[in-house]
Structure 1
Amino acid sequence: MKNLISLTIVAILLFSTVKLFGQDMKEKSFTPEEKNAMQLQMKDNFKPGDIGFESSVVVNKPKKEGTTRATITSKRNGYWEYSSTWDGGVVPGPDDDVIINHYVSILGSYSGVSCNNITINSGKTLNLYGEFLFVFGNVTNNGIIDGDFAYPSSNPVYFSTLYFAGNSNQTFANNGSVSTFLYVLSLDNTNTVTVTGNTFPVFRMNLFYGTLTTNGKITTGLGDSSASVIQIGVPNSSGRAGVINGILNYNIGTGGHYVLYSESNQAITMGVEIPSTNSVYYALFGNPNNVTMTRDLTITGDAEFLEGTLNAGNYTLTINGTINNLGYESYTGLLNGNGSTNLSFGGTPRDTLPTLTGSFNNVNIGNNKEVDIKNGNGTVPINSTLSVNSNGKLNIGANNTVTVSGTITGSGTVNGGSQSNLVISGNGPQATIPAVTNGLNSLTINRSNGAKLSGNLTVASNITLTSGDLDLNGKTITLGSTGTLMETGGRLKGSTGTITTTRTLNAPSGQNIGGLGVSITSSQNLGTTVITRGHTRRGNGTNLGIERYYDIYPANNSGLNATVVFKYNALELAGLSEDRLTMFKSTDGGNNWVEVEGVLNMPNKTITVSGVNGFSVWTPASKDSPLPVEMKSFTSSISGRDVKLFWTTSMEINNSGFEVQRTEAGKDNWQKIGFVKGMNNSNSLTDYSFTDSKLEKGTFQYRLKQIDFNGNFEIFNLANEVTVNGPSKFNLSQNYPNPFNPTTKIDFELPQDSKVNITVYDMLGKVVKVLENGSRQSGYYTISFDGSSLPSGIYIYKLTAESNGNTNTIVKKMTLVK
């Protein structure tokens, strides 16, 4: 890793006697053309915009021989490297003290220049001109240091640098000015560099080694669109990273503040390189011996975890940009929490976190933020709250386990996978498990107050209820084909919701399928079998089973001769007497039920049923409160204006009978039209019928209200509507009753609108009474005839109907007996 970084960065600091492209930089000056060619070769490794790269120490910087050789004073304006600039014609070196009495500029040989002590006198200038000044002694500036030059100006690679390289304490007395700022201030001194005098701005500080005592005289940042940069430590460090003693002034512009924690032979503790706002734009963590936070830290831009560990301690780390965005081939950096650490991730880029170690207090995923836990990270304990906010997403990742000991909040999504695990633990209130896309490998509940689902969930492997219950809360758990529900210290429950699994059962032998609590033994191959368990009380009316049922549907569902063991929990009895439990089954999805005798084993909480030839819906219920009537069929037929209803029951318990009800189709105006007495108790097929006679033209619906002797009832609806059509021909019915005394009724039918006359005659043809004389619409009609005033005998009644120019006549006889 560091070899890559060093190769990438060293271009900014290739100086001194380093041979570059076959040339010795100390002895060779370069033309502008040569500089441009060198820049083209270097810029692939370093660009000024890449200020997040680490700077390296100058390995082959000038070296002192141990004693000061001379004091050399400038004698005219000129370049440092020219002997004509100095008294005595000698160019100063690392053992020489220097006095600047003129305007002296460094030529720009890419080798830098050096001295022991240096004094810039009042009114005089030292122009660093994009080069390095290596100082082994003290700097006294009574004039001007021109430090804001970079070369080339259009795409700079080289920056004016004041480089403290001594082996003992050094001072920088800035009694004059730095114009307009110093590009780079570097400390390569394991001792102390003390700054006094006037305050000056610095673009970048490299604290490779030693202590910088600022006395509040340094302002980092230029307050414009550029950035401010502080580097602590250095790649391939051989000692303790530099530290800042005192305070810094901050003038951070829109370019933001960058902090780079490079290598040190010991842990680096955060200091005043972090502004009092606790906010930086960019942070790089590259110390293999770790970085320790001493305050909250907000990174508004990017964070790079190159190597080593960031120990976040009792603080909050907020990252609102991207993580590990520089594109190195491998990052090995870690982020460690101590149980009180809070993490917050904002912004919109999708980020993969560094490897997380230790444990964390709160973890917050912001709105629209997607965060990946690195595959293979392992266990990530969250001691308090995991918040996944609106449209946010936490990707657990492969071979990872997220353990939440507090609450899970927010409307965002937790994304799992077949190798992702979730553990709900701790002593907090009931936890809500958010919607989990792509399912989980395993789910563990180890919390006395349990958890509840807020979305459907797929679990490939195991659901372990170590402590506390899991409330389905109306949702569905799909258990994988090899998964198991293990209710060791808690139970699955919920008035609504189900857990389902699909298995291939070929000649099963006592398998507790998926741990759902139903074991099947059969010599037959059931094939693909869907087993669903729910905790809704099933039944009819007020007679309900316990809080558990099974819905079992194998591909082969006949001739199984299976023995089935159904398990239950004492907490599911819902007030029923355990010693009266038996099994009930329904073959129509739970509408009707029939009792199936089973063997109850109260100590083991099981009911065993033998000779099961086909599966359906099953629930344990009480023999004392049976689930009443199983309706086998309910049909209808029509004859003219009469509707006949037929129904068959296969089992009746405590059945008083059936109230027959009718309404016009589409209306909820049910009227009782009859009652048919039931069989009370029956285990065999019973057929019933009822005729609804002499209906008018129209469409009708029918239903049966089955009522038991306790007043409980259940409704069975006829599946189809019944339509009574109008008459197809003229018809006059036989009177009824006949013979009669003294009244009788006569029906007649008109297929068309007609002028109708119905008259009664005696046997001599004399008119006795006109019953109908007028216009009638098509339809069915009934009229009455009262013979109270007539003697006994035979009478004639005649229908005459005129319609569309045709006359229809029908004559019948009736007998009056007194």
Structure 2
Amino acid sequence: MKKMLFLSLFLFVLFVSSSYSQITNLTVVGSTASFSVRSGDNFGWSYNVPNAGDTTLVQIWIDADQNGVLNPAVDVLWTFFNQIDGDSRGQNGPPDIDYTANKSVAFESPLGLAPAHYIMLFRNHRHYTTFTGVVNHMNSPVYTISGTVSVPAGMSKKNIVLSLNAEGENGTNLFWDAATDENGNYTIEMSADTSGNPWVVRPDNTFIMGAAVLDKNEKQLVISPKQTSYTGNNFTFTAPSATITGTLKDDNGNSVIGSDVSLVAGEGAFYRYAPTDTAGVYHLGLLPSEVPQEVIVLESHSRGEGNVLNAYTKVGSVSAGNNITRDLILFRPNATIKGKVTLDGHAPGFMMNLSCLNSDSLFTNLLTDNEGNFTANVTSKVFNYTIYPVIDYMNGGQNYFFTPLTAHPGQSGLVLSISTTSDVNNETPAAPSEFRLSQNYPNPFNPVTTIKYSVAKEGFVSLTVYNLIGSKVATLVSEYKPAGQYSVQFDGQGLASGIYLYRLESGNFSAYKKLILMK
């Protein structure tokens, strides 16, 4: 019943909007009718909007029945994004390449789109226009990357899009895509340009799988002229034992699309993320082996939304069979909380990392200056905040004592007092009794930060950094290490500002933490 109601409303919107489109002079690949290109060709579009700086929602669908008519019950959504007139960065999608708010929007780039029939939808001010076309196979592919995608019973294996992207330095921006057939099989066709090794293949339009859990986010390949075919790159989606679903909105009630909502279990026991769909809805699943789970934390920071506070909430315990709903709100700051940190009654003499948290709504991280002064940007729409130092990075030979501050928007002159006791034992520290991954310091940072970790048992240790879509951006440690305490520096010089995750693995131990690069 709900699905039929959605379809009826969707088709009604299409019907009443088609005569009043706010998009004019639309061309795709230079055509005003339908387009036809080959995978790897230049692909782009241009159009006019009624107002300078307007936002247009762009959706690209695979036309599954190849009839040129958009039907959400049959066709499969590949990607969607907001494109803003004059925006040079892109809001979870392509930018406007003239970088000028002039009522004219354009984009063009070589794209290795999956060979298929497509329908593009451009929506502006609740009105829309559609454009159809076909992407054909490239003439002479040099490399092929293939595999199979398995899904839970009752779900379609067809038109799941797999994407191949360069992850190494000096890599091309060109990606190569393929869509699965009715049996879940796919073959990505690629040109001779392998610059940017290693390459990573991953499912792309995972939002169509709901709360089904993907076994691994990606598979890494080093593509070499000595080998032209790479098979067995398989992925499995598993039916969840419990689900968490909700809507991500801004503080004006607007749905936030294409942004990741992340789930962190316990003390970094595992991490998972899901993108919001065109209605701002996210779906997260937990496997049978992951429940019951005592503490689940949900977070989101909205890609491309500019200056927003991180959404945050604690779910509590989750058991098998639970279907939990939690909505999140991304607030924009409109107030401040000001104060000072003292260390043993004095200015700390160095910058300290603080967290400002409302456990039901949001969090933000901030740095003091060397004198301990801080300003937390918050929203007056949330009243109670807890401010505390992130001191996990400090010397393990010290004990730190403090009482978190309870604060409200507009307050100033607050004092957060931290006291220490010294550990005068100069003997060589004993081997740690447990594996531990500490919070990086400083955090936020620009561009270098330090990560400390403890190894309880000799073995192979891996410490890697990922972005929020699961792509590996750095390998900091990958070697056998004896038991002990270690630290390593991470340099984010070549990365964009944003939130990243770092993961420590050794034997059966695995833990995640989050770091924030702020340039």
Q: TM-score range by the shorter chain?
A: under 0.3
Q: What TM-score comes out, normalization by structure 2 length? A: 0.26
Q: What TM-score comes out, normalization by structure 1 length? A: 0.18
Structure number with greater CO (CA < 8 Å, separation at least 6) is: 2
Q: Flag the structure with larger Rg.
A: 1
